[in-house]
Chain A
Amino acid sequence: QVQLQESGPGLVKPSQTLSLTCTVSGGSISTGGYYWSWIRQHPGKGLEYIGYIYYSGSTYYNPSLKSRVTISIDTSKNQFSLKLSSVTAADTAVYYCARGLDIGGPWGQGTLVTVSS
């Protein structure tokens, strides 16, 4: 069965770029016509959709983050990635990757990224 796993630094300094990777196992990222998404959850708060990428490379970004977000895909490594630039403390959150245009899943377990000097 398909599984997703986020990885990346747990601590990022203000004004720097947050970089996370989601590794897909148990299936190919480029088959099945799936979309691959990033979602985040601020500590103790609700869920915020960041954006998606299709295996062809087409992307969608939430307008609230669009100026700072880049999502990319590496089909050779079965991974997709998130970059969020110019981070502030407000970007401290658990970041999840997930499969599906409707976020049906599976989801990764999530990774906490703290923005602090």
Chain B
Amino acid sequence: DIQMTQSPSSLSASVGDRVTITCRASQGIRNDLGWYQQKPGKAPKRLIYGASSLQSGVPSRFSGSGSGTEFTLTISSLQPEDFATYYCLQHNSYPITFGQGTRLEIK
């Protein structure tokens, strides 16, 4: 299985901050990576697909980059509704695997 290592596991930030979350794959996955946001009691929602393409309806403050083994999700200016847990997912090789999550908390 491809291991997805996400960092940091938790992060405290303030409204307006720029935040970056990293996901590293144990082997190359091209750009077969998505980023998801999950709020308590809700299903994950995809923000980014293909490593860098913004899902329809997702605010442009979210962006993704990377290819191969290293990927980043950046939120350019944190809004109150962005405090949630974020996961990366690789679908290059089965089984699909997720990062362990990054919990983004209000400072």
Stretch at the interface among B18-26, B60-68, B70-78, B88-96: B88-96
**B46 adjacent to chain A (CB < 8 Å):** yes
**B28 adjacent to chain A (CB < 8 Å):** no
The residue in chain B whose Cβ has the minimal distance to the Cβ of A102 is: B91
| Contact A108–B95 (Cβ < 8 Å) | no
| Contact B45–A49 (Cβ < 8 Å) | no
Map CB proximity to B onto A77-114 as digits: 1 under 8 Å, 0 otherwise.
Answer: 00000000000000000001010011111011110000
**Prevailing SS type, chain A contact patch:** loop
Interface residues on A, range: 20 to 34
Give every chain B residue within 8 A of A64 (Cβ-Cβ).
Answer: 95
The residue in chain B whose Cβ has the minimal distance to the Cβ of A61 is: B95
**B97 adjacent to chain A (CB < 8 Å):** yes
Output the least CB separation between B81 and chain A (Å). 18
The residue in chain A whose Cβ has the minimal distance to the Cβ of B94 is: A60
| Contact B46–A62 (Cβ < 8 Å) | no
| Contact B43–A103 (Cβ < 8 Å) | no
**Prevailing SS type, chain B contact patch:** loop
Contact of B87 among A47, A62, A96 (CB under 8 A): A47
Give every chain B residue within 8 A of A96 (Cβ-Cβ).
Answer: 43-44
**A46 adjacent to chain B (CB < 8 Å):** yes
Instruction: List B residues 1-16 near A (Cβ within 8 Å).
Output: none
**B69 adjacent to chain A (CB < 8 Å):** no
How far is it, in angstroms, between the C-alpha of A62 and the C-alpha of B97 when the chains are bound? 10
| Contact A102–B101 (Cβ < 8 Å) | no
Q: A46-B87, A47-B87 are in contact. Are A104 and B98 (CB under 8 A)?
A: no
**A63 adjacent to chain B (CB < 8 Å):** yes
Contact of A110 among B43, B96, B97, B101 (CB under 8 A): B43
User: Which A residues fall within an 8 A CB radius of B?
Assistant: 37, 46-49, 60, 62-64, 96, 98, 101-105, 107-110
